[in-house]
Chain A
């Protein structure tokens, strides 16, 4: 292997790795706040790219129907519960978050995004659609069982993934898409040619990891979100609602998922079911960080990207196998690094 090839592979690896970083970061975030291993994050990413591609093609993206249906169900669930408790504030908040806001986004996507609209506007509406899916998913799937064990939550997450990808097949069809890259010529650094896309992915994942890491380490609000996962009742007693914390985590997950999809769309072809493999790779990274430490998870995800790039050069057929085999030594190392912790009694 020449230096040139290694350099290209390295660049590829870092760019892919940066996407896994975004994923791993969300997995850590959602897990630390809710104890949910958020398997469907990959689906959100795929849906985001598919949505943007549909806007580009001048179609109505299927996401609109997913959002409309999901919001309607969530509205019935949340509204019904609030009405049963005669909780006016709850009713109002359900009407706002599961009624008015999704309705506004759906209507915008239906009528205000013509084919010739600027790319940036399409991206913004895509972000709004996907971000809005996050809290709805939480309300429908996870909030009713929020106090259950991590295993039950994981099973629900896997179920949600299968649900989402079957709906995805239905509304997006089976074809793969590639979205347009950001405008502008590639940047030249020495011998390397780096696309703006790559720079964007790497920069945004770095910024995100830094911000989240700081937020959860330094700010009291960040710690309050973590507190909700450590002890639900304890959190209620300091005035932090575990449900609100979960919803916040899912809004952020939706937003990062949307951005990831937009960033990764031009780099690889995405299908309605690409989310799972993406999610798994992000998960390997997140495991390196013990699902808790952002910088470590980011490093792990970057490593996954690099291993994948070099593996596809040497043994491309075994690429995914090699990546997932990586998890074995990592788990072994983690089991040595962290003593077994008893599941917290609630």
Chain B
């Protein structure tokens, strides 16, 4: 399959802190590529840099759409979309306006049908359709997530990046989001999925990267990564309920010295517990 996104030795620095160092990654047409890793691993920095929202070093190329690398706007026009971790909706505008704006760059293209796109998104997220005249800022967290995803889908993306689409959602809503991801995958949309919910992510993914401390610690087909003993221990919580195992590799000094080093260690363990156990049957039931 052809390569859609080719990252070569990508590095992101914030002042003194190195959030990503020399990350190389590929995403292929028709595949779901997932990046998992603990909090602060640099996942969000990765997709933001790929989208051109923050400065980075190294090479970001989209072999099929060479012009896309020029700017964020050029990526959007090439139908490369990001649903950011912060959602970035237009709060005072209605759901409908947010959705329409999602297709802003396509509005005058030949063959583009706004109503058809809206209907398609309404079919995927009936809940949004019921609230089409509500202000985006008054939506619940889950509805906001759906709107952010819906806004990106309005453009009929060819390559879609999702930054923790299930963040903070109830298990049933997580299942709904993953159902949409699977549907998109069936429709042939290439996806780069950032997830804390490693089990669900690895299940839909074809290829997986484990990012820790700004570096790729492990990569391979989703099946191999899922079977890796270290991943099982750290992210899938098959081991003890205490989840005392550390991440795949010890995080480098600079991250350990950071503000969140204590809570970082406990996050995978929490994910490994109740959350996963409850989402699993929900997803199973939905798909």
Contacts and interface: CB of A to CB of B under 8 A. Distances in A.
Contacts of B76: 237-239
User: Which A-B residue pairs are the 7 nearest by beta carbons?
Assistant: A234-B88, A239-B76, A239-B105, A230-B90, A236-B72, A233-B88, A227-B90
A237 B97 contact: no
B73 interface: yes
Contacts of B84: 233, 237
A39 B242 CA distance: 60
Contacts of A238: 76, 101-102, 104-105, 151, 155
Nearest to A231: B88
Interface in A178-223: 220, 223
Interface in A314-346: 344
Interface residues of B, number: 29
Contacts of B87: 234
Given A233-B53, A239-B76, A220 B89 contact: no
B97 A234 contact: no
B93 A234 contact: no
A89 B70 contact: yes
Contacts of A236: 53, 72-73
Contacts of A223: 93, 97, 100-101
Contacts of A226: 90, 93
B51 interface: yes
Nearest to B151: A238
A32 B86 CA distance: 22
Contacts of A278: none
B267 interface: no
Given A223-B100, A237-B76, A344 B51 contact: no
Interface of B: 51, 53, 70-73, 76-77, 81-82, 84, 86-93, 97, 100-102, 104-105, 107, 151-152, 155
A292 to B, nearest CB: 9
B90 to A, nearest CB: 4
Q: Residue among B77, B87, B92, B100 with the most chain A CB within 10 A?
A: B92
Interface residues of A, number: 18
B104 A224 contact: yes
A241 interface: yes
Given A233-B53, A233-B84, A233-B86, A240 B91 contact: no
B71 to A, nearest CB: 8
B88 A237 contact: yes
> Majority SS of interface residues in chain A?
helix
Contact of A224 (B51, B72, B101, B152): B101
Contacts of A231: 88-91
Contacts of B53: 233, 236-237
Contacts of A227: 90, 93, 101
A230 B105 contact: no
21 contacts: A87-B70, A220-B107, A223-B100, A224-B104, A230-B90, A230-B93, A231-B88, A233-B53, A234-B89, A236-B72, A237-B51, A237-B81, A237-B82, A237-B152, A238-B104, A239-B72, A239-B73, A239-B104, A240-B104, A241-B73, A344-B91
Given A230-B90, A234-B87, A239-B104, 12 more contacts: A220-B101, A220-B107, A224-B101, A226-B90, A227-B93, A230-B91, A230-B93, A237-B51, A238-B102, A238-B104, A240-B73, A344-B91
Interface of A: 87, 89, 220, 223-224, 226-227, 230-231, 233-234, 236-241, 344
Contacts of A240: 73, 101, 104
Nearest to B72: A236
Q: Residue among A87, A223, A239 with the most chain B CB within 10 A?
A: A239
Nearest to B92: A230
A240 B107 CA distance: 13
Nearest to B87: A234
A322 B254 CA distance: 62
Contacts of B97: 223
A227 B151 CA distance: 13
B162 to A, nearest CB: 12
Contacts of A239: 72-73, 76-77, 104-105
B43 to A, nearest CB: 17
Nearest to A241: B73
A338 to B, nearest CB: 12
Nearest to B75: A239
A325 B73 CA distance: 46
Contacts of B88: 231, 233-234, 237
A31 to B, nearest CB: 13
Contacts of B155: 238
A230 B98 CA distance: 11
